[in-house]
Amino acid sequence: MKKLKSKVLYHGGSIPVPSHLQKGLIELEEGSFYFTASGKSPKHDIQMTIPVDRIKSAKAEKRKYYSSMGYFLVIEFLDKDGKEETLELEIRSFVRRGRAQAILRLWAETLSEKN
């Protein structure tokens, strides 16, 4: 299995975190998807581990906001209790839109093929 790692911005989802636009890191390693992000205070930090077999779908979305484009990875997964959850993460690559799109497609394809 490939080991992937990318920097992201947390934009939202169904997990109850009071702040958004937190800088974070996603990793795929040993059959698990890891997401960590630092909040404004330690109580707002996010640390998630999602087994790949619980990921239902991973989609690449392009959204226009303000005067630029945002490239989002939208992950739908089942939590420990079997409840459906979502996670929206923005992949950024300053000045290089093509690079952000390629990274986004790689993540979406890799997470989708594991299902």
pLDDT tens per residue, range 36-56: 998 777 878 889 999 999 999
Structure tokens at 39: 């909040």
In this structure, whether the domain defined by 4-113 belongs to CATH 3.40.50.300 is answered with no
* Closest of 89, 97, 101 to residue 27, by C-alpha: 89
Residue 114 in this model has a pLDDT that exceeds 80: no
Higher-confidence residue: 86 or 16?
Answer: 86
Residue 15's CB is within 10 A of a number of other CB atoms, namely 13
d(CA 33, CA 13): 16
Mean pLDDT, rounded, for 5-27: 83
The residue type at 46: I
pTM over 0.75: yes
Please state, in angstroms and rounded to a whole number, the distance separating the CA atoms of residues 47 and 25.
10
Write the pLDDT tens digit of every residue in 59-109. Answer: 999 988 777 788 999 999 999 899 999 999 999 876 688 888 999 999 999
Domain boundaries, the chain: 4-113
> What amino acid occupies position 2?
K
Predicted pLDDT at 50: 94
